[in-house]
């Protein structure tokens, strides 16, 4: 059976309607790669049933075999290893979005009642989900990521027709800052989410790298060429810089502190005393990757220039030393946890990434406090590990298990109403 898709796009032509006559899971796994699927009743987009705790480990053969009996949702963001989607809700905007993003022309695309959903896998951290709006503030779609799910198979609750697969190809891998937001869609990652930020890629007059469509010359502004290529460095150093950038951005919200943590991470990864041996080209590469990463996760302040962010990272490169003491030991402990071998105690929970990370963090706090007691809040640990709200709340259970297993001991218990937090001591296994 075939149905026409609304809209004038050449890509929105007559397509085969997905039916429930066959098992869709093998094809979905081919198109989406590693993904967490959610088994919903046929003809609905979801119910009140919890689903955010589902993991890739739950995707057993028996679970997957039962999916074809209902609607199939996909948990997006980190749960599915970076799988995200842009849902362009307005038929008139689909073609302009496709033309602005040729890198997404051949990615997996689906259709429900209107518009088109573009599926892709993000390289780097997944941001929170956002509503897409036009210049008047009207909703025109969604950027779906952490905390969202999207229906990929089954019956649409409004049309009573099957969801359609417009482009049956594997999802492409892209960086967040490669997405161009055309006229009609305000850049949802601009710091103030305003139409003024919806500009073409390049330096704006205040130095902000922006995305969008209206040429600068049309706005009466100076047009600037494409950003210069990032200086080439060795593959080994480039890989170390990518790891350090990710660790640094997770460790703190303030840019100068976060950039400092990134430099400390690079020192630890390279196992050097400082970064004084880096050439100007290598420093430039590090600074450019740091800036582009901040931009991709929406952490660029429009009142500050690109030069400001370069200045922060360059200062950190000059000043960071391997063994320096910091006021807040938790970000440093996290950096060390990500760049050091797992402690022996973590192997008891092999495969449980959250528990492995938590044990590694606690172990490094143990070392930084010379074997004495220490404190880390559940919220701080959750932010560093990139956990969603539900998983963050569940960290209390992880701490309890570590105490019950003898890996942690409580030195000072939490006392409600007395502003007394729990402090711990780490118990290393006998060598």
> What residue ranges do the domains of the chain occupy?
2-178, 235-319, 340-426
Q: What is the pLDDT of residues 381-423, one digit of tens each?
A: 888 887 888 888 889 999 999 999 999 999 998 877 666 678 9
Question: pTM for the whole thing?
Answer: 0.46
Residue 202 has pLDDT above 70, yes or no: no
Average pLDDT over residues 154-175: 92
Which CATH class for the 2-178 domain?
alpha beta
- The mean of the pLDDT values for the chain is 81
The pLDDT assigned to 350 comes to 86
Residues 60-72, mean pLDDT to the nearest whole number: 91
Q: Say which CATH topology domain 340-426 has.
A: Arc Repressor Mutant, subunit A (1.10.10)
3-state secondary structure the chain: CEECCCCCCCCCCCEEECCCCCCCHHHHHHHHCCCEEEEECCCCCCCCCCCCCCCHHHCCHHHHHCHHHCEEEEECEHHHCCEEEEEECCHHHHHHHHHHCHHHCCCCEEECCCCEEEEEEECCCCCECEEEECCCCCEEEEEECECCEEEEECECCCCCCECEEEECCCCEEECHHHCCCCCCCCCCCCCCCCHHHECCCCECCCCCECECCCCHHHHCCCCCCCCCCCCCCCHHHHHHHHHHHHHHHHHCCCHHHHHHHHHHHHHHHHCCCCCCCCCHHHHHHHHHHHHHHHHHCCCCCCCCCHHHHHHHHHHHHHHCCCCCCCCCHHHHHHHHHHHCCCCHHHHHHCCCHHHHHHHHHHHHHHHHCCCCCECCCHHHHHHHCCCCHHHHHCHHHHHHHHHHCCCEEEEECCECCCCECCEEEECCCCC
So what's the pLDDT on residue 359? 94
């Amino acid at each position: 059976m075939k149905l026409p898709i609304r809209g004038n796009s050449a890509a929105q032509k007559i397509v085969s309607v997905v039916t429930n006559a066959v098992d869709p899971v093998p094809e979905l796994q081919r198109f989406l790669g590693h993904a967490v699927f959610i088994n919903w009743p046929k003809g609905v987009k979801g119910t009140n049933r919890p689903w955010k705790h589902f993991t890739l480990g739950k995707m057993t053969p028996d679970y997957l075999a039962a999916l074809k009996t209902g609607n199939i949702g996909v948990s997006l963001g980190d749960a599915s290893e970076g799988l995200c989607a842009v849902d362009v809700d307005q038929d008139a905007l689909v073609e302009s979005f496709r033309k602005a993003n040729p890198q997404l022309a051949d990615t997996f695309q689906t259709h429900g009642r209107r518009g088109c959903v573009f599926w892709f896998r993000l390289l780097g951290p997944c941001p929170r989900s956002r509503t897409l709006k036009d210049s008047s503030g009207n909703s025109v779609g969604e950027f779906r990521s952490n905390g969202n799910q999207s229906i990929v198979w089954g019956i649409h609750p409004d049309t009573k027709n099957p969801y359609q697969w417009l482009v049956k190809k594997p999802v492409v891998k892209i960086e967040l800052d490669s997405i161009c937001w055309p006229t009609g869609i305000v850049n949802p990652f601009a710091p103030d989410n305003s139409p003024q930020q919806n500009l073409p890629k390049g330096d704006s007059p205040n130095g902000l790298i922006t995305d969008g469509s209206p040429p600068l010359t049309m706005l009466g502004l100076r047009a600037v060429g494409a950003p210069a290529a990032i200086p080439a460095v060795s593959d080994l150093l480039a890989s170390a810089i990518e790891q350090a950038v990710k660790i640094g951005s997770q460790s703190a919200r303030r840019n100068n502190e976060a950039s400092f943590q990134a430099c400390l991470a690079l020192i630890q990864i390279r196992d050097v005393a400082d970064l004084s041996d880096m050439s100007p080209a290598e420093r430039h590469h590090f600074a450019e990757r740091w800036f582009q990463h901040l931009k991709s996760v929406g952490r660029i302040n429009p009142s500050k220039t690109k030069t400001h962010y370069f200045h922060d990272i360059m200062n950190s490169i000059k000043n960071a030393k391997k063994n320096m003491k910091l006021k807040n030991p938790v970000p440093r402990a996290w950096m060390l946890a990500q760049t050091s071998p797992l402690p022996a105690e973590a192997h008891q929970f092999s495969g449980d990434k959250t528990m492995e990370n938590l044990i590694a963090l606690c172990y490094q706090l143990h070392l930084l406090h010379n074997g004495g007691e220490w404190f880390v809040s559940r919220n701080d640990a959750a932010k560093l590990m990139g956990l969603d709200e539900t998983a963050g709340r569940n960290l209390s259970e992880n701490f309890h298990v570590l105490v019950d297993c003898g890996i942690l001991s409580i030195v000072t218990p939490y006392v409600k109403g007395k502003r007394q937090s729990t402090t711990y001591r780490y118990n290393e296994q006998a060598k």
